[in-house]
């Protein structure tokens, strides 16, 4: 499963999300790992326990000025059991909410696949 955020400035969207995570502005999300300009993050439960069943990988794809995008790929850790559809629904819903509430001015629209 994935969310594509169509934007003119994909790296600015990723940078804004990472900055919000690092500044603790998104208190229900945390960075799990950074590698090769990709960021992996996950949802935190109410008691601030890391919900590492599903992690989100970011990938910036620049095509042309109007149709570049950030692809948010929802995946799970190999040593964990495969998440249920309910797990995916919770995480995708919460992440979509965070994008719309906090970063609505950084993308044109979202496509959920």
In a domain, 1, yes or no: no
In a domain, 11, yes or no: no
Per the structure, the complete domain to which residue 80 belongs is given by 22-112
Are the beta carbons of 54 and 46 closer than 8 angstroms? no
In a domain, 3, yes or no: no
In a domain, 102, yes or no: yes
Residue 102 has pLDDT above 90, yes or no: yes
Closest CA to 13 of 74, 79, 82, 68: 68
In a domain, 89, yes or no: yes
Share of the chain above pLDDT 90, in %: 35
Sequence-distant (6+) residues with CB within 8 A of 20 are 26, 102
Residue pLDDT, tens place only, 80-98: 788 888 888 888 999 999 9
| Per-residue exposure over 99-109, b if at least 16 CB sit within 10 Å of its own CB, e if not | beeebeebbee
Number of domains in the chain: 1
- Residue 84 has a pLDDT of 85
Residue pLDDT, tens place only, 62-76: 777 677 999 998 888
In a domain, 9, yes or no: no
> How many C-beta atoms lie closer than 10 Å to residue 54's C-beta?
21
Confidence band of 51 (pLDDT split at 50, 70, 90): low
């Amino acid at each position: 499963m994935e969310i594509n955020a169509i934007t003119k400035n994909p790296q600015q969207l990723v940078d804004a999300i990472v900055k919000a995570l690092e500044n603790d502005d998104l208190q229900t999300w945390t960075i799990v790992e950074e590698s090769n300009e990709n960021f992996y993050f996950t949802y935190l439960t109410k008691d601030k326990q890391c919900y590492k069943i599903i992690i989100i990988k970011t990938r910036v794809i620049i095509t042309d000025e109007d149709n570049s995008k950030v692809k948010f790929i929802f995946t799970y850790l190999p040593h964990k059991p495969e998440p249920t559809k309910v797990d995916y629904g919770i995480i995708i819903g919460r992440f979509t909410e965070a994008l719309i509430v906090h970063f609505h001015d950084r993308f044109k629209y979202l496509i959920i696949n």
